[in-house]
Amino acid sequence: MRVTLPSPRPSRRRLLTALAAVILSFAGCAKKKPRIPAPAARVGSTQVGIASWYGHPYHGRRTASGEVYDMEKLTAAHRTLPFGVWVRIRNLSNGHSVEVRINDRGPFVEGRIVDLSRAAARAVQMIGPGTAKVRLEVIAAPASLPALAFFAVQVGAFRERSNAEALRRTMQRRHGTARLVLRDGDPPLWRVLVGQEPSFEHAAALAERIRLDSGSAFVVRLDDASS
């Protein structure tokens, strides 16, 4: 005669452990913010997100491209588009649009995709609110672009160089390559950049690893060997 034994009941501790794992997995999914993909430099590429604007104290200072920033010209800062690219910015709340040239790097705030000059912000009526949801579209690219593009991850910006240097050393120990880049301003800021990746996708993967370990991280284009 065959005797069928009942399956052993899972212990209370095992049930609680399994339940906790499920809860944590849902919590992790809920806390993870969607990443906004970067637009390509080709005409027609688009990006939707939050725009902000900047004026003083950067007016009259050097931009990341080396130009002197004039807040009354139609320019903008973007983290990954090449300098010299023209984009159309449409304010999705009122339909106003403006065409601007990328000549600086930024913004370095979670969820924002472009920093407009004051003149550009005025054109799309976002001076008062300070920010607006916009659609960015690439409308013209420079006649010549570098054959190769490299990207890094910005992990911090500091007024004191000593603080930036301490973070740079930590990042270099953990991730291999890290450097300081001076951002002109009043006061100037020392940016900490990690890595030198051959594509935006590689840099985005590095940024995700850094976020898990250290928090804030933004992918930026490396514009020359020194930055």
pLDDT at 136: 98
Helix (H, G, I), strand (E, B) or coil at 125: coil
Phi/psi of residue 121, nearest 5 degrees: -65, -40
Residue 155 and residue 204 share a domain: yes
- The boundaries of the domain holding residue 207 are 150-222
Q: Which residues contact 9 (CB under 8 A, 6 or more apart)?
A: none
Token duo for residue 184:
């002109």
CA torsion angle 81 83 85 89 (round to 10): 70
- Asked if residue 217 is part of any domain, the answer here is yes
pLDDT at 75: 98
Residue 136 and residue 71 share a domain: yes
β-partners of residue 191 are 157, 181
Q: Would the CA dihedral through 109, 112, 115, 120 be positive or negative?
A: negative
Q: Residues 154, 207: contact at Cβ < 8 Å?
A: no
Alpha helices (H) in the chain, listed in sequence order: 12-31, 118-123, 161-175, 200-214
CATH number, residue 91: 2.40.40.10
Instruction: Look at residues 111, 140, 169 and tell me which one is the last residue of a structural domain.
Output: 140
pTM of the model: 0.79
For residue 140, the one-letter residue type is A
β-partners of residue 179 are 193
Residue 136 and residue 62 share a domain: yes
**32 phi-psi bin (left φ>0, alpha ψ -120 to 50, beta other):** beta
**How would you list the strands of the sheet with 218-222, edge to edge?**
178-183, 189-197, 150-158, 218-222
pLDDT at 13: 54
- Asked if residue 23 is part of any domain, the answer here is no
Residue 54 and residue 76 share a domain: yes
Q: Tell me how many domains the chain contains.
A: 2
Residue 101 and residue 56 share a domain: yes
Residue 170 and residue 95 share a domain: no
- Asked if residue 201 is part of any domain, the answer here is yes
Per-residue pLDDT of the chain (227 residues; tens, 9 = 90+): 444 444 445 555 554 444 444 433 434 443 444 455 667 778 999 999 999 999 988 899 989 999 999 999 999 999 999 999 999 999 999 999 999 999 999 998 888 999 999 999 999 999 999 999 999 999 999 877 777 889 999 999 999 999 999 999 999 999 989 999 988 777 788 999 999 999 999 999 999 999 998 888 999 999 864 44
